Structure 1
Amino acid sequence: MTPRTEQQPQMSVEEFEELERHAPETVRLEFVQGKVQVKPVTDGNHDQIIAWLQRLCMQHRPELWLYGDRGMKVEQYRNGRARPDGVLAPFGFLEGHGDWSDAADVLMAVEVTSHDSDTRQRDRVEKPDGYAAAGIPVYLLIDRDDCSVVVYNQPENGRYRHEEKLPFGASIKLPDPVGFTLDTEPLKKLAD
């Protein structure tokens, strides 16, 4: 494992939150590993994948909801801020929350890759570390670039200890506390 190198954040979390509040609707900002990042606006297939996953979560775990594009506090050591494409949590999780929710009750974070140059670093490296550092038990990455699904789990010391990667079309078990199996065949037609 490569040791982490500490670098100074570009700004304080308070400065980031102020910047994010005033950003135009066409721009989605995140603050991960001490850097401000622009998250691309989603396309139709991306949104359809989230809708497909919401339906499956509701069928298998009706007491939960997959909240889309929710502001989350991640990376406890840096006070990071991310907007996962989805977070699975108990229904009612958002009551009383402001713009940024703590990850305490989140069972799973979900990202669907966008077709942009930063997706490799953001979704495959920085987000797993941020979500693990926040203690989110499961991170589901739907990778449209290489048509695969990756499930990360067992967060410990800011990293996920276990990762399983399967191609679109395979069935993949979402481990506890999520606890159901995804048939990823429908993702084949949504890869673009």
Structure 2
Amino acid sequence: MTVMAERTVQMSVEEFERIAELVERESDAVRLEFIHGRIGIRGMTDGDHSEIIRWLQKRCMRVRADLWLYAGGELGLQVEAYRKGRAKPDAVLAPERTFVGQGDWADPEGVLMTVEVTSYDSDTDRRDREEKPAAYAAAGIPLYLLIDRDHGTVTVHSDPAVDGYRYRQVADFGTKILLPDPVGIELDTEDLKEFVR
């Protein structure tokens, strides 16, 4: 019998950013993140995932024309002061021009809300329900919206603290839920029923 030893390799943020740039330049099918000292890999989104982001963007613009929903996971954010994490949310709500002059991994200052839509992969539980809310709260982002296709729910996390968000509100698809200040938008989630398997 062969015994394999598990080794933990420490990687600097600079090393991660070089690897992420190379991978993403070569493949449109993969996005890399660096949260809690680990590299995470996210595959391509499906059509329903994209429709959910479009749905949210339309509602936000209808009520808050002063904000923009930066969508598609193209915007990277610096999260986690301790481990210098890097995350690519499915969408980011912020005032227009918040990210002017920033590089691939933007400072989260000015971000009002991050959004994740669950994917149908084995890693979504840990990534979207545990690691991402902890990282976004630690970065001081006021709201985290999780659109959970597995459970048919929308969860609004608010009141960020170093150890996570202090408040969570959960609503089933088909009901209304308020995105509290500083966003101040009520969402009617009836349409989300169309975008689940």
TM (normalized to structure 1)? Answer: 0.94
Q: 2:139 aligns with which of 131, 134, 141?
A: 134
User: Does the 8 Å CA contact 1:134/1:158 hold for their aligned counterparts?
Assistant: no
Q: Once the 2 structures are TM-superposed, how far is the Cα of residue 96 of structure 1 from its aligned partner?
A: 0.6
Does 1:39 pair with 2:42?
Answer: yes
CA distance in 2, matches of 1:30, 1:10: 15
Q: How many residues align?
A: 185
User: Does the 8 Å CA contact 1:9/1:33 hold for their aligned counterparts?
Assistant: no
Render the CA deviation track for 1:22-58: whole Å, top value 9, x for unaligned.
0022110000110000012100000010011111111
| Letter in structure 2 aligned against 1:50 | I
CA distance in 1, matches of 2:145, 2:59: 14
Does 1:19 pair with 2:19?
Answer: yes
Give SS of 1:22's match: helix
Q: Which residue of 2 is the match for residue 85 of structure 1?
A: 90
User: Does the 8 Å CA contact 1:110/1:141 hold for their aligned counterparts?
Assistant: yes
| Structure number with larger C-alpha Rg | 2
Q: Which residue of 1 is the match for residue 58 of structure 2?
A: 55
Q: Once the 2 structures are TM-superposed, how far is the Cα of residue 9 of structure 1 from its aligned partner?
A: 6.9
CA distance in 2, matches of 1:183, 1:46: 17
The verdict on how the C-alpha distance between 1:10 and 1:27 changes in structure 2, with shifts beyond 3 A counting, is: farther
User: Does the 8 Å CA contact 1:27/1:39 hold for their aligned counterparts?
Assistant: yes
CA distance in 1, matches of 2:10, 2:55: 36
| Letter in structure 2 aligned against 1:101 | A
User: Does the 8 Å CA contact 1:84/1:109 hold for their aligned counterparts?
Assistant: yes
Q: Once the 2 structures are TM-superposed, how far is the Cα of residue 167 of structure 1 from its aligned partner?
A: 0.6
The verdict on how the C-alpha distance between 1:41 and 1:58 changes in structure 2, with shifts beyond 3 A counting, is: same
CA distance in 2, matches of 1:183, 1:9: 45
Identity %: 55
Give SS of 1:81's match: strand
The verdict on how the C-alpha distance between 1:10 and 1:39 changes in structure 2, with shifts beyond 3 A counting, is: farther
| Letter in structure 1 aligned against 2:16 | F
Residue ranges of structure 1 left out of the alignment (5+ in a row):
1-7
- List structure 1 segments (4+ residues) > 2 angstroms apart after TM superposition: none
Residue ranges of structure 2 left out of the alignment (5+ in a row):
1-7
Q: Which residue of 2 is the match for residue 30 of structure 1?
A: 33
Does 1:109 pair with 2:101?
Answer: no
